[in-house]
Amino acid sequence: MRTLFYAVAFACIAGCGNGPAPGPGPGSGGPPPAVKEDPPAEPGKPIAKEPGEPEEAVPLATVARHVIGVTLDPASHGIEGSDEIEFEGEGVREIELALNRTFEVTSVQFGRVAAGWDFKEGKLKVRFPAASTAKFTVTVAWRGTVFDPPKRDEVRFVTGEKSSGTIQPEGAYLPPNCGWYPDVPGTMARFTVTARVPETWEFIGQGGRHEYDAKTRRCTWSSPLTVDGLTAVAGPYVAEELQAGRVTVRSYFFEADAKDAAAYRKAAAEWIEHFSTLLAPYPYDDFSVVENFFSTGYGMPSYTLLGQDVVRMGPRYLGEGGLGHEILHCWWGNSVFIEGGNWCEALTTYCSNYHWVEFKQGEEEARKYRRRQIVRFSMMVPPEADYPVRKFEGKVTEADNEIGYGKGSMLFHLVRRRIGDAAFWEGLRRVIRERTGRRASWEDFRAAFEAQSGEKLEELFRGWLDGTGAPEVTVAKTGKGAKVTLGGPLKDLRLRVRSWRPDGPVEADVDVKGGVAEWEEPAGTTRVEVDPGFDVFRRLPAEALPICLNRVVTSTPHAVVYPAGDEAYKELLERLADWEKIPAGEATPEKLKGKSVLVLGGPDVNAVAKRWAEGGKLKLAGLEVGADGWTGADEEVKLGAHRALLVSFTNPDDASRHATLFFPASPAAAKPARLLLYYSWESWFVWRDGQIAARGEFPVNDVPTADLR
């Protein structure tokens, strides 16, 4: 996830710590800078106009570079620093900077002379003694504290933990919106930062590390590109590195996890090589994998910040949806930056998560991926939670994830199918060539694709980005063949159709215009299937969705039925805070009617599971649950085995609802219970000796089909 630091109002530079009271004051003296001839101004006072002097347009200045020196003191949460800010803009007499409102400003200089200034509510107003030349510097010195300890979010499994910025013995996290350095919000600039930290710590900036003192840990980081802010981190790390061509791949892990760092460096080097070939050369000098002391999964320019819980996932995180995704943000979001809507999560998801599956595992796995995206959106984004992709800013809820990452990414798949592989990938390379170190919008991508292909894509982009929902496809038999009707945000769309004819299946594209397409089928055609490859992201009707735990989670009202006195389910029950909780002995059929139900414990401990099993209600496709165990996944399991089963099905007490049963065959096998919500997308799972040994999905009819017989 690329962290987004949008431009904020000066007053919103939050106090993320307790520091000395701010106040106005003059800077120290020195030789004057080169300036245009103007009467000098007294520091701290504005320039007075002559009587009757006409109002003129105020010259503006743009930030070109920050040269920051900073010292961190974890014990006191303290920070002390200075920033020499290089500006461009002739004739400027004053500027306004944002800085953490709790800081104390100790001096401000214009070039080498003192400037007039005052600091209040996070706004540092600086007045120059003379109008500026085309290029000039303002140097601000400050000190204060930054301490906003990370907080667990109630949806931590979606968003991780949050902090606006903190310096503490466990580590330091300093994002731009903390206001830890003075800036003009919304600007882009180059950054050089030199840091002093404790001798057991390491400091990580952006771009590349060009100076380093191993004894004092003093270091300098500098970015070769204009970027939209500087996020710095530091902590008691073991620092190691790997040279991968011209790129230095670094790891900063805590000592307890340092043994795993080599695998991360190797995987990072492989990802960088792959994306450099696919898109463009890696845009920075270094890439660092940094372990965080709280739960995060952030992508920054030239590094990723991963929580300790993420790092300890090991090989599970090194693939397309984890480390590869964060590395790819160094192209999308962290060298080509965002404006006019967060396109970067969609494109990063497509180029990393999806493309890697397609590239490494082949078309059948890519089809499964596309289907999974469709299922997730259809299940997790009810109409009342839907909104246009263009309005997506970041991930807070599951609906945000499926809109911004899922639906957004599949726009790129539609474009790719429309214009072809060559024009698609060259269009992306064109954006990189034209927009690296700059901001880009959805319209920049559309323009690049149109330029490479000659296709007009405005209607496709507008419908996908500004409408809600997803295409809803239905197909029906007609007198001569078949008819497709298209609902949702697009009325013109190309769909692949598979026709089953006497000589075998035949596939062809059908262009839907105005929401409808009709065509003739040769005599003997038995059926037609629309979009069998799930190439068009669409909304599935309820009957086409797989039966799984998420059907229970997303369908309210829902209840959890639990056995008495079983500590194995305590943590899970706490997570299900808004669920109705029913003791197993009180869960009558009447009480479960109209509810989606999660049943904890097998027939040996839960009366509901026993009633369903003894009534023959749990004879499922390839799996049968009985009173003393189950048969399925190529084995017969009896009570006492170190096995557990999670299985979802139609609620036996209400056929309009779904139910899920967690059946550990022994007390020791109940260990996965606390993480059940992570196993929510497939119909059944089997654990053997605490590890997932098998999983599967009960079949459903999810391809729009018309029987022509």
**Short-list 348, 353, 324, CA closest to 336:** 348
Comparing 154-168, 645-659, 666-680, the range with the smallest average pLDDT is: 154-168
Half-sphere exposure of 622 (CA within 13 A, CB side): 14
Mean pLDDT value across the chain: 90
Which residues have CB under 8 Å from 445's CB, separation 6+?
Answer: 343, 347, 427, 428, 431
Residue 163 in this model has a pLDDT that exceeds 60: yes
Assess if residue 224 is contained within a domain: no
| 395 and 487 fall within a common domain | no
- Helix runs in 420-548, H state only: 421-435, 442-453, 458-466
User: Positive or negative CA dihedral for 440, 445, 451, 455?
Assistant: negative
pLDDT at position 8: 34
Question: Which conformational region is residue 91 in: left (phi greater than 0), alpha (psi within -120 to 50 degrees), or beta?
Answer: left
623-626 sheet: strands from edge to edge:
619-620, 623-626, 629-632, 635-638
* Contact by Cβ (8 Å): 225, 262: no
- What average pLDDT does this structure show over 598-617? 96
State pLDDT tens for residues 313-368.
888 888 777 899 999 999 999 999 999 999 999 999 999 999 999 998 999 999 99
CB contact at 8 A, 212 and 219: yes
Answer yes or no: are the C-beta atoms of 542 and 375 closer than 8 Å: no
Same domain, 621 and 483: no
Tell me, yes or no, whether 442 and 479 share the same domain: no
Q: What is the mean pLDDT of the segment spanning 507-522?
A: 95
Task: Say yes or no: 115 and 174 in one domain.
Answer: yes
Q: Which amino acid is at 132?
A: S
Tell me the pLDDT band of 4, cut-offs 50, 70 and 90: low
Residues 400 and 517 occupy one common structural domain: no
On whether both 122 and 159 belong to a single domain, the answer is yes
The CATH number covering residue 561 comes to 3.30.379
pLDDT of 26 above 60: no
> Is residue 238 assigned to a domain?
no
Q: Give the residue-averaged pLDDT of 508-530.
A: 95
Q: Given 540, 561, 584, which residue is the final one in a domain?
A: 540
Q: What's the number of CA atoms in the CB half-sphere (13 Å) around residue 444?
A: 22
Q: How far apart are CA 137 and CA 66, in angstroms?
A: 10
Count CB atoms within 10 A of the CB of residue 637: 23
Domain end, chosen from 540, 566, 591, is at 540
Query: What is the reported pLDDT for 56?
Result: 52
Q: Render pLDDT for 661-698 as a digit per residue (tens, 0 to 9).
A: 999 999 999 999 988 998 999 999 999 998 999 999 99
Res. 43 pLDDT band, cuts 50 70 90: very low
Residue 59 has pLDDT above 90, yes or no: no
Residue 145, domain member (yes or no): yes
Least confident among 148-162, 255-269, 339-353: 148-162
Any idea what the CATH number is for the domain that residue 104 is in? 2.60.40
Cα dihedral 201, 206, 211, 212, rounded to 10, equals: 10
Q: In what order do the strands lie in the sheet with 658-664?
A: 580-583, 558-562, 596-600, 658-664, 643-650, 684-688, 691-696
Q: How many CA atoms lie within 13 A of 585 on its CB side?
A: 2
Q: Is 25 within a domain?
A: yes
* Domain contains 709: no
Model confidence pLDDT, tens digit, residues 392-412: 999 888 999 999 999 999 999
Q: How confident is the model at residue 157 (pLDDT cuts 50, 70, 90)?
A: very low
In a domain, 373, yes or no: yes
Q: Among 187, 221, 250, identify where a domain stops.
A: 187
Domain identity same for 534 and 578: no
Q: In this structure, is residue 241 part of a structural domain?
A: no
Please indicate, yes or no, if residue 134 is contained in any of the structural domains: yes
Domain containing 408 equals 336-466
pLDDT of residue 633: 87
Give the helix, strand, coil percentages of the chain, each rounded to 5.
30, 35, 40
Confidence tier at 543 by pLDDT (50, 70, 90): very high
What is the total count of domains within the chain? Answer: 4
Do 462 and 481 belong together in one domain?
Answer: no
- For residues 414 and 361, state if they share a domain: yes
pLDDT at 47: 36
Please tell me the distance from the alpha carbon of residue 218 to that of residue 209, in angstroms, as a whole number: 11
The answer on 122 and 84 residing in a single domain is yes
Q: For the segment 176-234, what is each residue's pLDDT rounded down to a tens digit?
A: 999 999 999 999 999 999 999 999 999 999 999 999 999 999 999 999 999 999 999 99
For residue 426, the domain's CATH number is 1.10.390.10
Write down the residue that tokens 């020196």 correspond to.
69
Cα distances from 256 to residues 236, 251, 263, 304, 629, in angstroms, run 11, 13, 15, 19, 41
pLDDT of residue 504: 92
- 322 within 8 A of 307, measured Cβ to Cβ: no
Q: What's the per-residue H, E or C state across 278-338? A: HCCCCCCCEEEEEEECCCCEEEECCEEEEEHHHHCCHHHHCCCCCHHHHHHCCCECCCEEE
Where residue 44 falls (left for φ over 0; alpha for ψ -120 to 50; beta otherwise) is left
Q: pLDDT for 412-431, tens place per residue?
A: 999 999 999 999 999 999 99
Question: Can you give the pLDDT at residue 315?
Answer: 83
Residues 483 and 574 in one domain: no
Confidence (pLDDT) at 318: 85
75 plus 122 within the same structural domain:
yes
Report the amino acid identity of residue 228. D
